[in-house]
Homo-oligomer: A and B are copies of this chain.
């Protein structure tokens, strides 16, 4: 997906919010805003929006000298999501469609995103996760189920920390032996990395790899050759979150995007309301 003009003021606001979250140093706040203004003035709009996110957060890490500024927030929301897991697991097992129910909880976990919002309330997140079983979702769930049932192997592109604890619910329903879980190559915003896979105890359950990139999405040309090989030979891919949608929706392969619609640009692009939880099947 291209970057829309609307994405630029939004990215700037996000850069400023992130800078304030990471450091109290107002010189850094000003410097990051000025740098992003300069970069976006000549931005190639054919790049996907996470390309700006990657630049912003690389510069913020460099300017602040902190390699993983969201580390403690990631651990906090990993713990939070793990605490509600047993309750959600019980709901899934009691219902008639455990695979679809698990997918919906996995989408609900996508509320834990420090890219779009710079602050999240723990109680609000926990309530949102519990309520999500009864939240309307969009998309062709029967088709999702059909593809998942017949797939021999499933490539599962995770999105955020916290959220990744809830991906366990869907991975267990899919059968962990069929799944390869992919996380970001290194820290960017609160996106999940291998450290989060360890924290939420998924490393013993499912094959895991990282994609070699620090973009808050999956910019294929920025990923490792090993990941790209895996991606291009995958039978079916599950991709979580807006960042993965924005970077992969034009790629011609069999992808099911599981995501919450979080901004007006995406809402218009996919024709769904903001806040919608959706499965979107794409062949590019």
Given known pairs A41-B37, A41-B41, the reply for A12 and B16 (CB within 8 Å) is: no
Complex: A13 Cα to B4 Cα, angstroms: 12
Question: Is residue A90 contacting chain B, with contact meaning CB distance below 8 A?
Answer: no
Spot the interface stretch: A28-36, A166-174, A202-210: A28-36
| A220 at the B interface (CB under 8 A) | no
Instruction: Fill in one digit per residue for A2-35: 1 if any B CB lies within 8 Å of its CB, else 0.
Output: 0001101110110010000000000001100110
> CA–CA, A37 to B5, complex, Å?
11
A9 touches B5 (CB 8 A): no
Task: Say what secondary structure dominates the interface of chain A.
Answer: helix
Q: Which size class do A's interface residues fall under? A: 10 to 19
A40 at the interface (CB under 8 A from B): yes
Pick from B6, B13, B16, B37: contact of A37, CB below 8 A: B37
> Residue of B at shortest CB range from A11?
B9
Residues of B within 8 A of A42 (CB): 34
Point out the residues of chain B lying under 8 angstroms from A16, CB to CB.
5-6, 9
Q: For the complex, is A38 an interface residue (Cβ under 8 Å from B)?
A: yes
Provide the bound-state CA to CA distance between A16 and B29, in Å: 24
CB pair B12–A33 under 8 Å, yes or no, is: no
